[in-house]
Chain A
């Protein structure tokens, strides 16, 4: 819906650019940045073009929204580097842009995922020529590179490269290769070129030292290739840790056993000692011993138990008649239904209730066993379920434990003092903010920043024709200030062919200023067309 009719203003220059669509502007800007960055990386034109294609795809998928343009550009370039197999690291881009490498990495991963581009895994061998060149081996560059490549192959077969930065491995390989060819390259020189930490390089060298290949002489190494492949260092370390843990567990268990034995010996000795002590006699003897109280207690309970037994006997006797009666009834009942299980299980102590009320209806006889089972199971499934009103369930919470988490008066005062001191700046800011708001309120220009309401209630559009309705809707939604409303109106009436060009030229000078102030344009009366950009 952009106003048709190309006005002959080809030499507009600055103004013509302003009139371009935002999308084209973005793309042009991106192209410029890609070329700028790509030249710093010494990428050829083909790579730059491919990067620009990636960028176009990214823009069309709206992946540039909410992200720094530079990050997206860098990600596009790195994607090209990966697909073309150039020896550029993400670290190089990060160095150029002074951005954290992981931030760039995040953008790169997202871009690769969204564009469905699977960059092949980095092969550390790619970096060897580049680093070798930077280490200046002169004539022997090729030889050293070959040796380094061979070392790298060996490291790969020994599972040293999985999960590691390829640059670290390259550094280690080059260092060893240099030494093998009598070049004295120090660790410091290598890490400056390779961009890893000294400890990383040392670790790689140590790991290589642990492999059987490191024991070969230089000549042997160049000729022989050992069959055995080592385990990755992290796996070996993990296994070692596991073994140590198991050993420790076995050890502590043994210790426990020994302790148990020792304590059992201890107990036996104690008992023997006690038995050999002279025993006090008489009634008061009970009170002198420490465990006498327990003896007394058990004797009391013993008496109670004896009483209980008597009661039981009496109860049994009374119940006997009822019991017999019940059994009779139940047997008859079972003969009738043949389904009632409950009656068959003759309880040892017949429940008194049954004898009084007669056989109660069972779940089976009522036919609701299934529903009862369901109810019980749902109850079991959600034991800790909230009550309907969301009250806090206090079961299992020890109040004294909770009280320990709360400070008393003096402690609270001290903490308050410390906190006030710590957060003095913040409190000052808050006070100033409040004072500012109060002042603005007084002056009546207080603008409260309310959180954006997602559902805006709009008045229903009242329009007589479809064209008018569309106009009003566009005004409300403020889609674009660049729409030629005249054309919209003319859409229905097929008579008119071209929009009014005279309006264009007169509005041109005034409109350039108003382009940036969309709100005012939208609020303008649409009768005066907002079609400054009607020329295409």
Chain B
């Protein structure tokens, strides 16, 4: 039966290294950053929700307060344990600033909030290579890393090993990179994938 390889003993698959080292000249843009921080004090969520203008709290649906600020435009999930998740910022500095603003709001509502262990958990970037990509070909040659199921998702899901990033590659040439903890990982992943994508460029 074609296409079936018996499960082998585990070996670490390496992303194929391409010889050309010319830079692509395209820089992925960061679209979203998810970060967490510990406010280090127990919070009364009902109290916060009823005193803050920008907070919603639906205990039946989700056990956290959802708070939003306009500048930087972000959303935060604040849990009763004092932990907080901040999403929607476009740069690391913005994410930190937004998290500090949320902590300040919580402080002003009467809780002794601190700002411990701020950590960026995930960064999402996107860019456009400006040429159509033959996804069927890519999934054939890089089958160890790619997963392409048009019945489920129109894009090809490429799981790069080093750096550990997941890329969503679309036929229109748009690429989404996610799973990074640092900005450099996104740039590195894109520089790795660009020569591979060029190899599957539609001949025109």
Contact = CB atoms under 8 A, between A and B. Distances in A.
A115 B7 contact: yes
Contacts of B96: 384
Given A162-B135, A426-B60, A109 B147 contact: yes
B128 A403 contact: no
B108 A402 contact: yes
B172 interface: yes
B25 interface: no
Interface in A136-182: 159, 161-166
Contact of A406 (B6, B52, B100, B203): B52
Given A238-B174, A390-B114, A391-B114, A164 B104 contact: no
Given A90-B151, A238-B128, A392-B114, A419 B57 contact: yes
Nearest to A418: B50
A193 interface: no
A389 B114 CA distance: 9
A183 interface: no
A120 B170 CA distance: 18
B116 interface: yes
A234 interface: yes
Interface string A226-255: 000101101101100010000000000000
A113 B4 CA distance: 12
Interface stretch (A284-292, A312-320, A334-342, A407-415): A407-415
Given A120-B3, A235-B132, A407-B53, A109 B149 contact: yes
B202 A402 contact: no
Interface string B27-58: 00000000000001000001001111110011
B3 A392 contact: no
A403 B132 contact: no
Contact of A392 (B6, B52, B113): B113
B152 interface: yes
Given A116-B5, A231-B202, A406-B52, A165 B151 contact: yes
A373 interface: no
B115 A159 contact: no
Contact of A163 (B103, B107, B150): B150
Given A116-B5, A118-B5, A118-B143, A159 B52 contact: no
A180 to B, nearest CB: 26
B69 interface: yes
B192 to A, nearest CB: 21
A57 B6 CA distance: 10
A397 interface: yes
A390 B116 contact: yes
Interface in A376-404: 384, 386, 389-394, 396-397, 399, 401-404
B19 interface: no
A122 B151 contact: yes
B101 to A, nearest CB: 6
B172 A238 contact: yes
A380 to B, nearest CB: 14
Interface of A: 57, 83-84, 89-91, 101-102, 105, 109, 112-113, 115-122, 159, 161-166, 229, 231-232, 234-235, 237-238, 242, 384, 386, 389-394, 396-397, 399, 401-407, 411-412, 415-416, 419, 422-423, 425-426
Given A235-B131, A394-B100, A397-B100, 13 more contacts: A90-B152, A105-B151, A109-B149, A117-B5, A159-B171, A162-B136, A229-B202, A231-B132, A235-B171, A392-B115, A405-B54, A405-B105, A423-B58
16 contacts: A90-B151, A90-B152, A109-B152, A117-B3, A117-B5, A120-B2, A122-B151, A235-B131, A235-B171, A242-B128, A384-B93, A386-B116, A396-B97, A405-B105, A406-B53, A406-B105
Interface of B: 1-8, 40, 46, 49-54, 57-60, 69, 71, 93, 96-97, 100-101, 103-105, 107-109, 113-118, 128, 131-132, 134-136, 139-140, 143, 147-152, 154-155, 170-174, 202-204
Shortest Cβ-Cβ A-B pairs, 4 listed: A163-B154, A234-B172, A390-B116, A105-B152
